[in-house]
Amino acid sequence: MTVKIAILKETQPDERRVAMIPAVAQRLAKLGANLVLEQGAGSAATYTDDAYTKAQVTQEPDIGKLVADADIVLAVQPPSVDTVKKMKPGALLISFIYAQTQPDLVKTLRDGKITTFAMELIPRISRAQAMDALSSQAALAGYYAPLLGSVHMQKILPMMTTAVGSLRAARVLVMGLGVAGLQALATAHRLGAVCEGYDVRPETKEEAESVGAKFVDTGVDARGAGGYARELTADEKAKVRAALSQHIAQADLIITTAAVPGRKAPRLIDAEQLAGMKEGSVVVDMGAPNGGNCEGTKAGETVKVGPVIMVGPTNLPSSLAAQASELYAKNIYNLLEQVLHDGVLKPDFTDEVITGTTLTHDGKITNAAIQKVIEGTPAEKA
């Protein structure tokens, strides 16, 4: 037996990634899958239709025909409601969904009896690391952030000795030391900057030091559930602010990465702190899509806020679309390996990874938190 897997072309204007690349598609075929690509879906990520053809992936220009009989539909960003309505009942959708901001889409998935694996819901446990698309994409975003910041700086990152004297290395401060933040620190350090890292979770001190950075210790411990930082109290925020302000003022480049899934990005730098920074200093606010970690951030724009050049990128992984797509495709492959066997789709809803990732199934919203937001009632198990 074989299952049909449809690969969608992304439609958001800042999205260049594709959910499946030719090399990984060949591996999927060995699990008993017949893959069909929406024509041109990989071109923005440098994967041509010819490359897919060589990988035994066929193309279909009509999205309605593509998804109408597909057993599995793959995408990066949440597909449109119209696309979901064309899917057959019982089909499986795998993509990022961000359900809190997509209530109409979630209801359509529920009512259409689509099983949805939301990639942002992959449990952050050791066994699921190879499926963790949030982390794989954050690693690339963190790598790219200091490069983006350096483009806007009017000084270089490393120390340089010239015939007329030496240029000092730039000072880089990274705030938020998750996957993206540590990758940003590592990249800035490799480029020769003097690096500092800050996080409300003190256990990240050793991780910051391991990539060549000093850790800014504020004396506040805000470890939260699921590997994320919890919200700080008012007293804790004041203590952290006092400790951080001096480091903020000394920085030539700051990268902020703090995010709480499904919520507004926490504020890390206020207007007064920005005003105290050096003229021409740069902040890359990776929290921009969710409201920004800094006062004055504008999502998708680069603006001047007092002395600071404020960069508010909205989709950094898409800037590295070829390899971001490669990592994302491998995340999906590792997930499908758990549910696709000899051409038969058999999700095990007693498995904690599958259960944790499932958003809708058999006409129900199965994630308790999302169901409470959308329906106001506790979720039933899949």
Instruction: Give the C-alpha distances (Å, rounded to integers) separating 348 from 9, 241, 352, 355.
Output: 29, 47, 9, 8
Give the closest residue to 57 by CA, choosing from 81, 40, 77.
40
The mean of the pLDDT values for the chain is: 94
Task: Out of 26, 228, 338, 362, pick the active-site residue.
Answer: 228
> Are the beta carbons of 8 and 31 closer than 8 angstroms?
no
Q: CB-side exposure of 191: number of CA atoms within 13 Å?
A: 24
Percent of the chain with pLDDT over 90: 86
For residue 135, indicate whether it is catalytic.
yes
59-67 average pLDDT score: 97
For position 262, what pLDDT does the model report?
66
Is 95 considered catalytic here?
no
Q: Which of 124, 127, 168, 263 is catalytic?
A: 124
- Residue 49: HSE in the Cβ half-sphere, 13 Å Cα cutoff: 11
Q: What is the mean pLDDT of residues 255-274?
A: 89
Percent of the chain beyond pLDDT 70?
Answer: 96
Residue 227 has pLDDT above 80, yes or no: no
Answer yes or no: 132 catalytic.
yes
The pLDDT value recorded for residue 76 is 98
Tell me the average pLDDT across 198-208: 91
49 is catalytic: no
pTM of the model: 0.93
- Backbone angles phi and psi of 225, in degrees to 5: -80, 155
Find the catalytic residue in 39, 80, 100, 129. Answer: 129
Confidence band for 82, pLDDT divided at 50, 70 and 90: very high
The 8 Å CB, 24+ separation contacts for 147-150 are 147/187, 148/284, 148/311, 148/313, 148/316, 148/319, 149/253, 149/255, 149/282, 149/283, 149/284, 149/311, 150/191, 150/253
- Asked if pLDDT for residue 381 goes beyond 90, the answer is no
Helix axes 133-152, 321-339, angle to 10 degrees: 170
Residue 23 has pLDDT above 80, yes or no: yes
pLDDT above 60 for 380:
no
State mean pLDDT over 358-379: 89
> What is the predicted pLDDT for the residue at 377?
63
Q: pLDDT digits over 129-174, tens only? A: 999 999 999 999 999 999 999 999 999 999 999 999 999 999 999 9
Residues 6+ apart with CB under 8 A from 325: 17, 18, 19, 20, 21, 42, 45, 47, 76
Give 224's pLDDT tier (boundaries 50, 70, 90). Answer: low
198 is annotated as an active-site residue:
no
Residue 304: count of CB within 10 angstroms of its CB:
10
Q: Which of 77, 95, 102, 135 is catalytic?
A: 135
User: Of 132, 199, 252, 285, which one is the catalytic site residue?
Assistant: 132
DSSP 98-128: -GGG-HHHHHHHHHTT-EEEEGGG---SGGG
The predicted structure's pLDDT at residue 316: 96
The predicted-structure confidence for 46-61, as pLDDT tens digits, reads as follows 999 999 999 999 999 9
